[in-house]
Chain A
Amino acid sequence: DGGITQSPKYLFRKEGQNVTLSCEQNLNHDAMYWYRQDPGQGLRLIYYSQIVNDFQKGDIAEGYSVSREKKESFPLTVTSAQKNPTAFYLCASSILNRNTIYFGEGSWLTVV
């Protein structure tokens, strides 16, 4: 089946740790995105990439890092510099210059 796969679904992070959320898509989309969702805050854009080996900061990039070494993959690392990382993280992709985006099922990150 074509789609976007995020893993893991649930992840727990200790204080001071970096963690990486995986996002893989087999839709042959050029553009990929990471959003953060907090209760009552809607979705906020963390990073996006429109082409391999290139990415841009979104509205809340501080404390996060990404890479885009392959078209299919756009992993997000939540670094220890992100002071409040507990949230629901959504990966998405789209055809370049098309506004409709397709989402994965999300990953819950909790700091313990």
Chain B
Amino acid sequence: SQQGEEDPQALSIQEGENATMNCSYKTSINNLQWYRQNSGRGLVHLILIRSNEREKHSGRLRVTLDTSKKSSSLLITASRAADTASYFCATGQAGANSKLTFGKGITLSVRP
């Protein structure tokens, strides 16, 4: 069953703009992660935020987590054409070991 629901489903922006993607989930989590997938390729892990954290940064990425609203956002600043990809949020439940549940993904297009 799908746990994470990303929003919007598709996003098109101009190079240099910021891209904000959202993820909502339904049950308690241990952590939330964001992955990136280029067309026809495997997924690549971007960033993990734990349930006791509110914000995390990695390069041009900023992730926030609001456990009271059961939501997370991924911000990519100063986007580049190479950021064009699908982005997935994945939630890990407490006690579920390493089993993750993925959302349906957001397609990001960055126009040069």
Residues of A in contact with B (beta carbons under 8 Å apart): 4, 31, 33, 35, 40-45, 48, 50, 58-59, 88, 90, 92, 94-106, 108
Contact = CB atoms under 8 A, between A and B. Distances in A.
Nearest to B44: A103
A82 B44 CA distance: 28
B42 A42 contact: no
Interface string B40-55: 1111110010000000
Nearest to A50: B97
A103 B40 CA distance: 12
Given A4-B42, A31-B97, A33-B99, 9 more contacts: A42-B88, A43-B102, A45-B99, A90-B42, A94-B98, A96-B98, A99-B30, A101-B100, A104-B42
B43 A97 contact: no
B102 A106 contact: no
Contact of B100 (A50, A97, A99, A105): A99
A98 B31 CA distance: 11
Contacts of B88: 42-43
Interface centre among B41, B43, B103, B105 (most CB of A within 10 A): B43
Contact of B102 (A4, A42, A97, A104): A42
A41 B33 contact: no
A59 B98 CA distance: 15
Contacts of B48: 99-100
A19 B40 CA distance: 20
Contact of B97 (A43, A97, A103): A97
A99 B1 contact: no
Given A31-B98, A96-B97, A96-B98, A90 B104 contact: no
Contact of B92 (A50, A99, A103, A104): A99
A92 B100 CA distance: 11
B12 interface: no
A46 B87 CA distance: 21
Contacts of B104: 40-42
